Structure 1
């Protein structure tokens, strides 16, 4: 018997669909069901690599973790990774297909991918008890309804009752719900079986007249009101969350101050969540030279378009500021695209990522990068290649994943940072990353590097020593994995008490 389904759609982007999908996955998992998430088409630069080397959106990885199952590309069969203002790299079942403009994708490709979507959904439904489906944007985007493969067309295929989520924190939630339902065709409107008001602040009892109004106006029950929360250790899907981050230089002398460059095409910014969660770290995102200040160390993150983002650093003055601080002894770390920027030059002869074929790098490491047509996507097990003051001891094991088009060669004045021992389960011996002779500058292709508790704490403790701060009593009290699982449990508790779960089970026919 195929799995039961429930679908979360929103009145707009960022209404909270992803986090509520993760919450339901955890609740059903806690209740003893085999549950899987599903989002047919996701647009995000925050991606992950599965055990078999497939690339998928991180939101579905979070949802899979909440459900207690390994991530699979079937949970996100189509991933769109923006490369410019109106173009994206299209990843299908974990493998890059090609770059498409928005017009070409919707008019020429989306319809052809429907069979991929339905096959992935059918596989999940045959292997699980429940599939929690997430929509994208709003189902009321009438200009996209003809090429829809992610909202109501999926709900119809899965025979899924739809819960419509509205973000009350941004205002206009009642109008958004009523307007969304009004714009839906009658058959799709009937499929909406419940309303969720999300990100509520204040006394719910004062909101009861609004609930009665919505139910009378729409004929759809309000399943619950979920309070606003932002104190859970759960990774965010979209870089829009960085708008809430603290951009100001810290004034807490007892903490290590980390500045992460907010690149226009930043990818996998969740790499830095483990650092941000450390109690003795103040992490901030920097978008302009005048905000950089004099941090204890600088991180240049990954990018979907490394050359264009490097050009941005040069045009804004950030590139010069980074080089000046590095020469003054401030450590600089580069992850993936940020690692490539640390070198002498970058070449893209096939215009794989950019129309710019050549650019000089920051010149902080003796290396150069050439972009290839084939993308490397793999989970890796690695170890520290050469002990360094910010890397830890020689041979220290670590795990992570790679997603990159570039191939980097080291010069005589650079040495590798890590050695990759396995890729996607196969034994290899591949040198990764690079570090300067004094160890102050280093970079790597390995995403998730700071999830490794020993390396992360060594880095922070060494910076505290350099700053003259006490490092006693700073052992890891809870690992990154423990923090994740505790966050999912807390999320489930909050949402379970906010929603009428009996009603949701009934809507699913359970």
Structure 2
């Protein structure tokens, strides 16, 4: 409050202490101090909730190794996620973390890719710069070789654009390069436009017949595929795949949130490894339960009636 301008202070109605580790009653003297010096009440203390089950809000925890997990089962399939300098929407792979037969590795160096069952190229806040980073760090050769050896290659949004032949940036939104070559693993070309697409989508993943859902948020516009990967409810389409469907990508963030599709994807990787497919959902990904748990915690630890009075409810 001390560093805020007066008009900013008037916007502050009170305080809530968040992610507190310890005994909340020990803060009573601190609450009194805050009230005496600011004239605002503390409406509650939210305890730190471990394993809440909600996606991370930024990349800080991800960069610190949040997704790095030990291999739990010998009958698991290994999936590698490339840790790009400008990675975005890394939460697309969070549903895979709960699958008992998936070992997800986050990789920073081409030499550490190894021989996984699948490699995922994630979204990026600067596709062209990350593409050049991958080229200079040797990821191009590693990914192409892995593809030739039967590894499944997946690109989501920015990663999808990278799988194509060419990315054009005529308005220099991401780079002054104008045009850069992609990995050339899919027959598509992308143009980065001024306007950003932002829309929620539901549809069907054509190779599996499974329902998928999520959202699109991107500047890129890619050439239409002869065999679109996903057909949406509004009759639009998205995504491209190779003839054997082992290389594929789409703009749909959250594609792995759909339980049936995620299990289909994992079981196909199991078959490739010589393992028997599971054929049933092992780890339902349901954010509603996590939201309900958080809401219950708020009701228990916050003066909700006081908040309602502030809102004149």
Q: TM-score range by the shorter chain?
A: 0.7 to 0.9
Q: Distance in 1 between matches of 2:6 and 2:163?
A: 56
Aligned residue number for residue 249 of structure 2:
443
| Distance verdict in 2 for CA 1:211–1:470, change over 3 Å | farther
Contact 2:98 2:283 in 1 (8 A): no
Shift of 1:374: 4.7
Choose the corresponding residue for 1:462, options 263, 268, 275: 268
Contact 1:434 1:444 in 2 (8 A): yes
Matches within 5 A, 1:196-211: 196-211=16-31
Q: Distance in 2 between matches of 1:334 and 1:435?
A: 10
Give the count of matched residue pairs. 312
Shift of 1:355: 1.4
* Larger proportion of helix: 1
Choose the corresponding residue for 1:433, options 239, 249, 258: 239
| Distance verdict in 2 for CA 1:345–1:338, change over 3 Å | same
Q: Secondary structure at the match of 1:346?
A: strand
Name the TM-score, length of structure 1 as normaliser: 0.54
Q: Secondary structure at the match of 1:443?
A: strand
Aligned residue number for residue 225 of structure 1:
45
Aligned residue number for residue 221 of structure 2:
407
**2:131 matches 1:310:** yes
Q: Distance in 1 between matches of 2:8 and 2:186?
A: 56
| Distance verdict in 2 for CA 1:340–1:189, change over 3 Å | closer
Aligned residue number for residue 502 of structure 1:
305
Contact 1:305 1:353 in 2 (8 A): yes
Q: Secondary structure at the match of 1:192?
A: coil
Unpaired runs of 5+ in structure 2?
none
Contact 1:383 1:421 in 2 (8 A): yes
Q: Secondary structure at the match of 1:475?
A: coil
Matches within 5 A, 1:278-289: 278-289=99-110
Contact 2:121 2:156 in 1 (8 A): yes
| Distance verdict in 2 for CA 1:203–1:373, change over 3 Å | closer
What RMSD in Å do the two structures reach over aligned CA positions?
3.0
| Distance verdict in 2 for CA 1:211–1:291, change over 3 Å | farther
Aligned residue number for residue 192 of structure 1:
12
Matches within 5 A, 1:6-21: none
| Distance verdict in 2 for CA 1:288–1:202, change over 3 Å | farther
Contact 2:259 2:281 in 1 (8 A): no
Shift of 1:334: 0.5
* CA deviation vs aligned residue, 1:259-315 (integer Å, no higher than 9, x gap): 222323333333223333334333343333354344331111122322111012122
Aligned residue number for residue 356 of structure 1:
177
Q: Distance in 2 between matches of 1:473 and 1:381?
A: 23
Q: Distance in 2 between matches of 1:316 and 1:262?
A: 12
